[in-house]
């Protein structure tokens, strides 16, 4: 009798556990992410990072070079990345260190709240560098180990890992492409998804293009696609003036 009762209890507990698993989303299912965009100011040499697509679009309209998706961040975590602004130089700075944040505020920087969050699973490293020869754009952040090492070799100070991303920008094969890239770049100044942060180029060209419909690509038989970083690695040193 005791054995039967124990067996029933075990089956009941197992049923409750299975039911709970069926209605409770896993951490992977529940996780939400946001795209962090990267821009470049050719006048000051500053890179700017934001999760705000409207800010990305606005800065693009006034001359900043839109460099697409830098990485994918979690929408929430216990590890915030703080954003600060220097009203004297116009520079921005980003840090997970609350002490560094407070020290900068004490000497005149404006605290602009949390910029985004770091991935607590530490999936993708985001590196930080410092340029001791500049007063604007002194820090740079990148997920590219190659970029990190290249800048280090030309005088930037390598400051190790700044925080972590959930993943790099997702890419999918595009028709006629020999590289990895998404298919949508119809609104280069108003991106809303990682797939819209794709640029296009040809094997023999020197520019990258914000849209596959750019007239400069009209006679090209082979059009490659990918991130701005991939275009630059392929020798495309600047955006096309016709479509960017």
Q: What is the mean pLDDT of residues 113-126?
A: 96
Of 139, 165, 191, which residue sits at a domain end?
A: 165
- Are 218 and 108 within one domain? no
pLDDT at 93: 95
190 and 57 Cβ atoms separated by less than 8 Å: yes
Q: 148-206: per-residue pLDDT in tens?
A: 998 899 899 999 999 999 988 754 323 222 222 222 222 222 333 333 456 778 888 88
Helix (H, G, I), strand (E, B) or coil at 171: coil
175 and 223, same domain (yes or no): yes
User: Do 139 and 102 have their domain in common?
Assistant: yes
Residues 133 and 208 in one domain: no
Residue 28 lies in a domain: no
Question: How many domains does the structure of the chain reveal?
Answer: 2
Which whole number is the average pLDDT over 2-27?
A: 44
Same domain for 188 and 160: no
What's the confidence (pLDDT) of residue 119? 96
Kindly state whether residues 176 and 153 are assigned to the same domain: no
| 49 plus 157 within the same structural domain | yes
> Which residue range(s) make up the domain with 67?
33-165
Spatial CA neighbour of 244 closest among 229, 228, 223 = 228
- Any domain includes 195: yes
Higher pLDDT, 180 or 21: 21
Window from 12-21, 55-64, 128-137, 163-172 with minimum mean pLDDT: 12-21
Residues 225 and 185: their CA atoms lie apart, in Å, by 10
Q: Residue 195: how many CA atoms within 13 Å on its side-chain side?
A: 7
CB atoms within 10 A of CB 189: 14
Q: Rounded mean pLDDT of 102-122?
A: 96
Sign of the alpha-carbon dihedral angle for 113, 119, 120, 126: negative
Q: Which residue has the higher pLDDT, 217 or 30?
A: 217
Residue 39's alpha-carbon distances to 1, 2, 42, 48, 153, in angstroms, are 73, 70, 10, 5, 23
The token pair at 240 is 């096309």
- Final residue before a domain boundary, out of 165, 182, 204: 165
- Assess whether 122 and 234 both reside in one domain: no
The answer for residues whose C-beta is within 8 angstroms of residue 149's C-beta and 6 or more apart is 158
- At which of 165, 195, 225 does a domain end? 165
Candidates 43, 36, 65, 38; CA nearest to 164 is 36
Global confidence as pTM:
0.61
State pLDDT tens for residues 52-94: 888 988 898 898 988 888 899 999 999 999 999 999 988 999 9
Indicate the average pLDDT of the chain: 75
Predicted local distance difference test score (pLDDT) of residue 183:
23
Instruction: Specify the DSSP element, H or E, that contains 125.
Output: strand 124-130
Residues 6+ apart with CB under 8 A from 136: 44, 45, 46, 89, 90, 91
Q: How many CA atoms lie within 13 A of 54 on its CB side?
A: 0
Residue 18 lies in a domain: no
Check whether residue 58 and residue 160 sit in a common domain. Answer: yes
Does residue 151 sit in the same domain as residue 182? no
Identify whether 175 is part of a domain: yes
Statement to judge: residues 114 and 176 lie in one domain: no
pLDDT at 243: 57
Contacts of 62 by beta carbon, 8 Å cutoff, 6+ apart: none
* Residue 27 lies inside a defined structural domain of this protein: no
User: With 90 as the cut, is the pLDDT of residue 115 above it?
Assistant: yes
User: Lowest-pLDDT range, 32-41, 45-54, 187-196?
Assistant: 187-196
């Amino acid at each position: 009798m005791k054995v039967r009762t124990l067996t029933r209890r075990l089956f009941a507990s197992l049923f409750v556990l299975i039911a709970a698993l069926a209605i409770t989303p896993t951490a992977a299912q529940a996780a939400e992410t946001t795209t962090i965009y990267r821009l470049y100011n050719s006048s000051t040499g500053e890179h700017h990072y934001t999760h705000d697509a409207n800010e990305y679009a606005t800065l693009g309209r006034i001359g900043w070079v839109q460099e697409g998706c830098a990485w994918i961040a979690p929408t929430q975590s216990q590890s915030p990345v703080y954003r600060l602004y220097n009203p004297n130089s116009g520079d921005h700075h980003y840090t997970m260190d609350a002490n560094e944040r407070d020290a900068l505020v004490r000497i005149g920087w404006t605290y602009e709240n949390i910029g985004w969050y770091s991935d607590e699973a530490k999936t993708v490293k985001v590196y930080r560098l410092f340029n001791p020869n500049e007063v604007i754009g002194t820090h740079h952040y990148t997920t590219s180990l190659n970029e990190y090492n290249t800048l280090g070799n030309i005088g930037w100070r390598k400051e190790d890992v700044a925080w972590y991303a959930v993943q790099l920008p997702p890419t999918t094969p595009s028709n006629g492409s020999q590289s990895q890239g998404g298919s949508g770049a119809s609104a280069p100044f108003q991106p809303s998804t990682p797939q819209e942060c794709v640029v296009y180029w040809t094997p023999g060209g020197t520019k990258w293009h914000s849209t596959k419909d750019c007239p400069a690509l009209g006679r090209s038989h082979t059009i490659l696609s990918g991130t701005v970083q991939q275009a630059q690695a392929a020798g495309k040193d600047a955006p096309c003036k016709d479509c960017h």
